[in-house]
């Protein structure tokens, strides 16, 4: 819904809610802000009920800032912690059944293409590790095998945080959590590897330690997802509650985990790279 | 499409396995046509029996395998061969009917 | 290497050549031609004329034939978007996604597939999405079998979905067309399920009168829904339905209750449209009779033959055919059997869900003895003799 297609009647704008006016006048619509601009413009998400110290919150905030075209974006989420913050953003949000994000997004993106053939709607699924790779595994993998044109973002806190801290497929081997009283038996799932096998066009593994890099990664994933094929971002977003990380040390933990096993990695298919080169060349 | 001439009743197949039964009547004789559900759609076919009506109300009949037309249940795989048989049957029954009229009353 | 035949540059989707008309015109006014086709083919003919935007398929006996045919319709250009999903809950979620985008979506399933997709299907009504689900009933496991038993319909009764029960191939065509339009009325905005008893309808040929395929239904208007489509184009709602739990567990029960009331009220509001398109939500034969059979689906065909035979023997038995299970035509049934002394309810399932519905509707409003059966299940059809035996016994027991 951009001002190209829908506009308040003249004289009515000043009577619309102040949030709307601020978003139009001081928001990111039609502009691409940098990480250093944070705090100087009206963001899409402001309030949220997340725990103090939740790294996911920072990452979600950065995703919203990174959206290249929020006026034409629809986000699909599911049960978990992420949806608590995502639902507060000024972007339509579908909250369905647990694990159905990628199946729903497959139908949604195709439906939107039929309905608005002259626009390109960005569809993003943003959910936790459990929702994507345990209960949502079938939907996730098959949306990738079909190379559906939308972006999948995993908020990987390596636990089922919202339900009280149970082990998930993305929990590290040996970690003692609820439902894993003797420590997790299997290895952390290699979803980046699965994405490679499925032929995902843009794969990124990232920790929220470098906001500028997060913004660039998000933008790349969405632009490629819009035109070329499936894209995937796996973000390390720690759960300070279940992993007992004191709030002041959350970022230190992010840096440490990034160094140890969650280093930044980008795997870009040939056609996606060609597309990126064109797009990023144009910008310069 | 199968012929609708001389068709006196369309009903669910009384065999109790689903499908339709179509009853044709020319005089005392007729054809009972059945089409039942099949596990493979390609196997759907017609089954036709020559019948002799024993009463009109209630409508009752007996399967009659003693005419020259058919000595057993016939199977048809498509509507055109079925319709050919039905036309033949209508002619046959008309003649049979006039022949039977010529016989002395028993 | 693909063995698909490429389309020439001049190819025009056949759907683009069809003229758009309303369901009322298509079902009630257009001249029809008689054909003898299977239920799967009748469904295909309906889909061909229903102006479907997006169909998603997944194979399960006995509906695979229909969704395969939908694939051919997509190839010819009658359906705009089509793919084979990974399994039922994925398909049903994707159908919801497509419907949320504001386009007309359709799929089909049977028995265990319906069970597998239940989480997604049961959340369609609350989401106010409007897909049409063709449901070719088959037994639910365990044990696994493919024969028709319609126990699965009982699982949908309380979801808030619109439910129609087609008697035969003709109904399968008519009800599908009707459902595609009624679901999208602004005062309805709900999903619908059109059920048939599997093999008896899908894998058997029956007489079906069909209007010309030069016509298709009016397209879905994605701007007209009780709840905005999730297309980020419909001001002012940015989120169509904020899950109550997002805001507060404390108020969520309030919101959920009012939400449910809206859905169940919308089901009732759909009744007036079906009354027109189906020419009444019940069909009554021999209204003056003392004994009645109330049935839906294939059981109606068996009942008709039993009634015909009773008629030949000088006995008048009435029939009430129930076409829509939701919204349930309570008032019409009460009116039809007001003078009845005995009522039989033949069903193709052991639970007797129709019997329960009828008893709920008639309690305190009808003096008739309502017999708990006859029933067959596991996938067989009911022999006419069984209905006749029960009629005889009921006469003796409840003179």
Distance CA(C337)–CA(C331), nearest Å, equals 10
Residues C14-43: tens digit of each pLDDT: 999 999 999 999 999 999 999 999 999 999
Exposure b/e, C109-127, CB count within 10 A at least 16 = b: bbbbbbebbbbbbbbbbbb
* Token representation of residue A67: 């959206």
Residue C246: pLDDT band by 50, 70, 90 thresholds?
low
Q: What is the pTM of this model?
A: 0.94
What is the value of ipTM here, to two decimals?
A: 0.91
- A88 domain-assigned: yes
Answer whether residue B104 is part of any domain: no
Mean pLDDT of C33-54: 97
The parent domain of residue B86 ranges over 7-99
- Residue C18, CB half-sphere, CA atoms under 13 Å: how many? 25
- The token duo for A212 is 């500028």
Q: Which of B17, B63, B11, B56 is nearest to B36 (CA)?
A: B17
Is a pLDDT exceeding 90 seen at residue C162? yes
Task: Look at residue A28 and tell me if it is in a domain.
Answer: no
Domain with residue A100: its CATH number is 3.40.50.970
Report the C-alpha gap between C269 and C263 in whole angstroms: 10
Task: Nearest by CB to B41, from C203, C304, C381: name it.
Answer: C203
Q: Is residue B45 part of a domain?
A: yes
**Model confidence at B106: pLDDT above 60:** no
CB–CB of B18 and C298 under 8 A? yes
Q: What's the pLDDT tens digit per position in C322-332?
A: 999 999 999 99
Spatial distance between the Cα atoms of C376 and A199, rounded to a whole number of angstroms: 51
pLDDT (average), residues B71-98: 93
C314 token code pair? 């000088």
Percent of chain C with pLDDT over 90: 86
Show the low-confidence residues of chain A (pLDDT under 50). Answer: none
Report the pLDDT averaged over residues C47-57.
98
Q: Which residue has the higher pLDDT, A163 or C236?
A: A163
Do B12 and C301 make contact, defined as CB atoms within 8 angstroms? yes
pLDDT attached to residue C247: 64
Q: Report in angstroms the alpha-carbon separations of C34 from A217, C196, C208.
A: 61, 20, 6
Indicate whether B64 belongs to any domain.
yes
Given a contact cutoff of 8 angstroms between Cβ atoms, the answer to whether C87 and A138 are in contact is yes
Examine chains B and A and say if they touch (3+ CB pairs below 8 A). no
Is residue B28 in a domain? yes
Contact A91 C234 (CB under 8 A): no
Contacts of B2 in chain C (CB under 8 A): 36
Q: Find the residue in B nearest to C203 (Cα).
A: B37
**DSSP at B43:** G
Residue C243's pLDDT band (cuts 50, 70, 90): low
* Residue, of A103 and B104, whose pLDDT is higher: A103
pLDDT at C6: 87
Q: Quote the CA–CA distance of C365 and A163 in Å, as a whole number.
A: 49
Nearest to C100 by CA among A93, A1, A4, A226: A93
Contacts of A116 in chain C (CB under 8 A): 231, 233
- CATH fold of C282-397, please? Rossmann fold (3.40.50)
pLDDT-derived band at C238 (thresholds 50, 70, 90) equals very low
Q: Tell me which chain C residues have a C-beta less than 8 angstroms from the C-beta of B38.
A: 203-204
State how far the Cα of C165 lies from the Cα of B56, in Å rounded to an integer. 34
Q: Which of A86, A95, A111 to mutate to test the interface with C (most CBs of C within 10 A)?
A: A111
Q: Which of chain B's residues have a Cβ under 8 Å away from the Cβ of C204? A: 18-20, 35-38, 44
For residues C129-133, give the mean pLDDT.
Answer: 97
- Is the Cβ pair A115, C89 closer than 8 Å? no
A279 contact C CB<8A: no
Residue A90 lies in a domain: yes
Domain ranges in chain C? 14-217, 282-397
Q: Mean of the pLDDT values across residues B27-51? A: 93
Helix (H, G, I), strand (E, B) or coil at A125: strand
pLDDT digits (tens, 9 = 90+) for C283-317: 999 999 999 999 999 999 999 999 999 999 999 99
The DSSP letter of residue B69 is S
Give me the percent of chain C exceeding a pLDDT of 70. 96
Does B57 sit within 8 Å of C205, measured CB to CB?
no
Q: What is the pLDDT of residue B15?
A: 78
Number of folded domains in chain B? 1
The predicted pLDDT at position C380 comes to 85
Residue pair C129/C162 in contact (Cβ under 8 Å)? The answer is no
Task: Please give the DSSP secondary-structure letter assigned to residue A40.
Answer: S
Q: Work out how many CB contacts closer than 8 A connect A with C.
A: 136
Is pLDDT larger for residue C213 or for residue C227?
C213
How many domains is chain A built from? 1
CA C102, CA C220: separation in Å to the nearest integer? 8
Are the beta carbons of C203 and B59 separated by less than 8 Å?
no
How close B45 comes to chain C (CA, Å)? 9
Q: Residue A228 and residue B28: Cα distance in Å, rounded? A: 74
| Nearest CB partner across the interface for C383, out of B10, B11, B16 | B16
Q: d(Cα B94, Cα B92) in Å, to the nearest integer? A: 5
In a domain, B106, yes or no: no
Query: Is CATH 1.10.10.10 what the domain over C14-217 is classified as, yes or no?
Result: no
Q: State yes or no: cis peptide before A111, omega within 30 of 0.
A: no
Which structure tokens are listed for A71? Answer: 């006026």
HEC states along chain C?
CCCCCCCCCCCCCHHHHCEEECHHHHHHHCCEEEEEEEHHHHHHHHHHHCCCCEEEECCCCCCHHHHHHHHHHHHHCCCCEEEECCCHHHHHHHHHHHHHCCCCEEEEECHHHHHHCHHHHHCHHHHCCCCEEEEEECCCCCCCCCCCCHHHHHHHCCCCCEEEECCCHHHHHHHHHHHHHHCCCCCCCCCEEEEEEHHHHHCCEEEEEEECCCEEECCCCCCCCCCCCCCCCCCCCCCCCCCHHHHCHHHHHHHHHHHHHHHHHHHHHCHHHHHHHCCCCEEEECCCCCEEEEECCHHHHHHHHHHHHHHHCCCCEEEEEECEEECCCHHHHHHHCCCCCEEECCECCCCCHHHHHHHHHHCCCCCCEECCCCECCCCCCCCHHHHHHHHHHHHHHCC
Write the CA distances from C102 to A76, A95, A215, C241, integer angstroms.
16, 17, 31, 15
| Residues of chain A contacting residue C120, judged by C-beta atoms under 8 Å apart | 96-97, 100
Same fold, C14-217 and C282-397: yes
Structure token digits, residue C20: 């758009």
- Distance, CA of C184 to CA of C224 (rounded, Å): 8
Cβ separation C53–A111 shorter than 8 A = yes
Reported as half-sphere exposure (CB side, CA atoms, 13 A), residue B90 has a value of 12
- Domain with A204, as residue range(s), is 53-283
* C-beta atoms of A104 and C102 within 8 A: no
- Cβ–Cβ under 8 Å, residues C151 and C351: yes
Beta bridge partners of B52: B29, B62
Q: Could you tell me if residue B82 is inside a domain?
A: yes
Residue closest to C380 by CA, chosen among C346, C343, C345, C344: C346
- Name the helix (H) or strand (E) containing A146: none
Alpha helices in A116-249 (DSSP H): 129, 137-145, 191-198, 211-227
A180 Cβ under 8 Å from any chain C Cβ: no
Quick one: pLDDT at residue C282? Answer: 98
């Amino acid at each position: 819904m951009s001002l190209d297609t829908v506009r308040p009647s003249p004289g009515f704008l000043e009577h619309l809610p102040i949030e709307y006016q601020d978003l139009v006048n001081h928001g990111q619509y039609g502009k691409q802000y940098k990480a250093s601009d944070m705090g100087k413009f009206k963001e899409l998400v402001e309030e949220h009920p997340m725990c103090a110290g939740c790294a996911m919150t920072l990452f979600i905030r950065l995703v919203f800032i990174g959206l290249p075209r929020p006026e034409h974006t629809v986000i699909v989420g599911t049960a978990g912690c992420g949806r608590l913050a995502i639902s507060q953003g000024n972007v339509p949000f579908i909250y369905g059944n647990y694990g159905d994000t990628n199946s729903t997004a497959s139908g949604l993106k195709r439906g939107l293409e039929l309905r608005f053939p002259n626009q390109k709607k960005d569809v993003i699924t943003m959910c936790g590790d459990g929702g994507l790779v345990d209960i949502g595994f079938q939907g996730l993998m098959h949306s990738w095998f079909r190379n559906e044109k939308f972006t999948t973002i995993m908020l990987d806190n390596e636990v089922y945080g919202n339900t009280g801290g149970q082990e998930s497929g993305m929990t590290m081997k040996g970690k003692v959590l609820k439902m894993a009283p003797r420590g997790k038996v299997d290895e952390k799932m290699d979803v980046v590897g699965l994405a490679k096998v499925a032929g995902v066009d843009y794969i990124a593994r990232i920790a929220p330690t470098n906001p500028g890099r997060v913004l660039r990664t998000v933008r790349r994933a969405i632009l490629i997802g819009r035109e070329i094929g499936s894209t995937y971002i796996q973000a390390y977003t720690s759960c300070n509650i279940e992993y007992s990380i004191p709030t002041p040390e959350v970022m230190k933990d992010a840096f440490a985990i990034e160094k140890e096993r969650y280093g930044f990695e980008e795997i870009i298919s040939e056609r996606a790279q060609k597309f990126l080169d064109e797009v990023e060349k144009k910008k310069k | 499409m199968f012929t609708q001439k001389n068709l006196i009743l369309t009903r669910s197949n009384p065999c109790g396995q689903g499908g339709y039964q179509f009853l044709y009547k020319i005089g005392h004789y007729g054809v009972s046509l059945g089409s039942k559900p099949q596990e493979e759609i390609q196997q759907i076919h017609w089954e036709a029996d020559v019948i002799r009506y024993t009463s009109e109300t209630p409508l009752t009949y007996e399967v009659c395998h003693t005419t020259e037309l058919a000595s057993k249940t016939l199977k048809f795989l498509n509507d055109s061969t079925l319709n050919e048989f039905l036309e033949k049957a209508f002619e046959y029954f008309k003649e049979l009917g006039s022949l039977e009229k010529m016989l002395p009353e028993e | 290497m693909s063995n698909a035949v490429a389309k020439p540059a001049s190819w025009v989707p056949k759907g683009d050549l069809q003229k758009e008309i309303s369901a009322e015109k298509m079902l009630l006014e257009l001249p029809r031609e008689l054909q003898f086709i299977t239920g799967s083919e009748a469904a295909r003919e309906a889909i061909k004329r229903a102006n479907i935007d997006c169909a998603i398929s997944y194979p399960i006996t006995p509906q695979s034939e229909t969704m395969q045919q939908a694939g051919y319709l997509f190839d010819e250009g009658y359906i705009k978007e089509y793919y084979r999903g990974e399994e039922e809950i994925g398909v049903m979620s994707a159908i919801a996604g497509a419907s949320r985008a504001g386009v007309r979506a359709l799929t089909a399933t049977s028995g265990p597939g319906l069970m597998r997709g239940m989480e997604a299907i049961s959340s369609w009504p609350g989401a106010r999405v409007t897909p049409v689900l063709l449901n070719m009933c088959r037994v639910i496991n365990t044990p696994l079998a493919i024969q028709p038993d319609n126990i699965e319909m009982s699982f949908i009764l309380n979801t808030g979905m619109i439910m129609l029960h087609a008697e035969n191939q003709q109904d399968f065509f008519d009800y599908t067309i009707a459902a595609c339009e009624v679901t999208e009325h602004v005062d309805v905005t709900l999903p619908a399920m059109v059920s048939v008893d599997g093999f008896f309808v899908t894998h058997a040929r029956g007489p079906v009168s069909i209007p010309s395929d030069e016509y298709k239904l009016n397209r879905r208007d994605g701007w007209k829904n009780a709840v905005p489509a999730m297309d980020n184009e419909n001001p002012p709602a940015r989120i169509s339905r904020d899950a109550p739990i997002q805001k507060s567990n404390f108020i969520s029960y309030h919101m959920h209750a009012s939400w449910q009331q809206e859905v169940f009220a919308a089901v009732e509001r759909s009744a007036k449209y079906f009354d027109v398109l189906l020419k009444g939500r019940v069909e009554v034969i021999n209204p003056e009779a003392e004994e009645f059979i109330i049935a839906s689906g294939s059981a109606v065909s068996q009942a008709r033959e039993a009634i015909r035979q009773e008629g030949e023997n000088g006995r008048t038995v009435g029939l009430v055919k129930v076409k829509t299970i939701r919204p349930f035509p309570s008032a019409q049934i009460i009116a039809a059997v007001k003078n009845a002394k005995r009522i039989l309810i033949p069903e193709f399932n052991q639970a007797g869900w129709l019997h329960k519905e009828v008893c709920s509707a008639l309690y305190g409003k009808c003096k008739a003895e309502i017999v708990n059966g006859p029933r067959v299940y596991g996938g067989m059809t009911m022999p006419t003799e069984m209905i006749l035996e029960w009629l005889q016994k009921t006469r003796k027991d409840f003179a």
